[in-house]
């Protein structure tokens, strides 16, 4: 087995547009693990959103990576092995930028998500992620964060698809090098502390399992997957991936055509 660890993004990579995971992908994951490989999901989702979905994959142990790599937990116990986040002043600065421009914003702690808007977009997000947001009314999100001394892990803005890249560029320019601005779908812009990308998850799993990066493979579809795939020895992108990711990876079938299963077979067989 050339790649002893395989990291997979979730949405748009492992999960189809209808929210389901194919039996072909499930079988491939089970076969890879039975052969001795370590399979881990690496997602921008919160733990409360991703942990229930792992049961569908038959994964009841090992590690799971959430919040773009800022949070890593033991699947069986839920214990946090990595638990990074923002300094409060930095979180407030980002929220002020988003709220001053009237954006639909989310604030995430390890366990909860707070939102400044209750609308159809939020309800669609809740359905996809299987979580329920806490709606903040009568005050700004930044005020709530400050008043309750929240420890913020991630900040997100929901946007129209054509506004995604312009907002990313605006935030990068305004915030500078101390922050990581990325996207995990056509309508989401996410901000993390600098260094808290999926590449950090590759490094963590490499150290945790004592496996060199050259023997770790990764697959994804979005811009937030680029650091992870670039950091891994085996680089894969599903056929529906963003061009920036396809440019650095071996392109396999799309998410709808079981690209993860194809990549796992390559990882196990080479």
Q: Per the structure block, which two tokens stand in for 191?
A: 């901000």
- 169: Cβ contacts below 8 Å, ≥ 6 apart: none
Beta-strand relationship, 71-74 and 80-83? antiparallel
Which sign does the torsion angle of CA 183, 187, 192, 198 carry? negative
Q: E strands, the chain, where?
A: 5-8, 38-41, 63-66, 71-74, 80-83, 104-108, 113-115, 134-135, 154-158, 179-185, 188-193, 216-220, 234-237, 250-251
Instruction: Scan for tokens 């529906």, then name that residue.
Output: 240
* Conformational region of residue 24, where left means phi above 0, alpha means psi within -120 to 50, and beta covers everything else: alpha
Contact 46, 113 (CB under 8 A): yes
3-state SS, 151-192, equals: CCCEEEEECCHHHHHHHHHHHHHHHHHHEEEEEEECCEEEEE
Confidence at residue 270, expressed as pLDDT on a 0 to 100 scale: 56
pTM value is 0.94
**Helix (H) / strand (E) containing 150:** none
How many whole angstroms separate alpha carbon 267 and alpha carbon 200?
21
Each of the 270 residues of the chain gets a pLDDT tens digit; together they read 889 999 999 999 999 999 999 999 999 999 999 999 999 999 999 999 999 999 999 999 999 999 999 999 999 999 999 999 999 999 999 999 999 999 999 999 999 999 999 999 999 999 999 999 999 999 999 999 999 999 999 999 999 999 999 999 999 999 999 999 999 999 999 999 999 999 999 999 999 999 999 999 999 999 999 999 999 999 999 999 999 999 999 999 999 999 999 999 999 975
Q: Per the structure block, which two tokens stand in for 153?
A: 């892990």
Q: What is the largest CA-CA distance in the chain?
A: 58
Instruction: Give CA 131 to chain center in angstroms.
Output: 15
Confidence at residue 253, expressed as pLDDT on a 0 to 100 scale: 97
How many whole angstroms separate alpha carbon 259 and alpha carbon 238?
6
Cβ burial, residue 89 (10 Å; 0-12/13-18/19+): exposed
* Conformational region of residue 79, where left means phi above 0, alpha means psi within -120 to 50, and beta covers everything else: beta
Strand partners, 59: none
Confidence at residue 269, expressed as pLDDT on a 0 to 100 scale: 79
């Amino acid at each position: 087995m050339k790649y002893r660890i395989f990291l997979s993004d979730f949405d748009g990579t492992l999960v189809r547009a209808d929210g389901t995971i194919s039996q072909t992908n499930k079988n491939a994951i089970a076969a890879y693990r039975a052969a001795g490989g370590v399979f881990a999901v690496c997602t921008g989702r919160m733990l409360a959103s991703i942990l229930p979905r792992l049961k569908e994959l038959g994964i009841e142990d090992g590690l799971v990576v959430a919040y773009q790599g800022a949070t890593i937990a033991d699947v069986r116990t839920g214990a946090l092995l990595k638990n990074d986040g923002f300094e409060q002043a930095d979180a407030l600065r980002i929220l002020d930028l988003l709220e001053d421009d009237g954006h639909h914003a989310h604030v995430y702690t390890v366990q909860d998500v707070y939102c400044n808007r209750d609308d159809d977009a939020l309800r669609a997000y809740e359905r996809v992620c299987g979580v329920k947001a806490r709606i903040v009314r009568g005050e700004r999100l930044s005020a709530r964060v400050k008043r309750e001394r929240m420890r913020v892990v991630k900040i997100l803005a929901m946007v129209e698809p054509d506004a995604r890249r312009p907002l990313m560029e605006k935030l990068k320019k305004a915030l500078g090098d101390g922050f990581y601005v990325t996207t995990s779908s056509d309508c989401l812009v996410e901000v993390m502390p600098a260094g808290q990308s999926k590449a950090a998850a590759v490094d963590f799993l490499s150290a945790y399992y004592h496996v060199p990066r050259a023997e770790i493979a990764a697959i994804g579809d979005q811009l937030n997957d680029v650091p992870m795939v670039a950091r891994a020895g085996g680089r894969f992108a599903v056929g529906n991936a963003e061009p920036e990711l396809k440019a650095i990876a071996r392109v396999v079938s799309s998410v709808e055509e079981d690209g993860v299963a194809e990549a796992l077979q390559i990882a196990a067989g080479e």
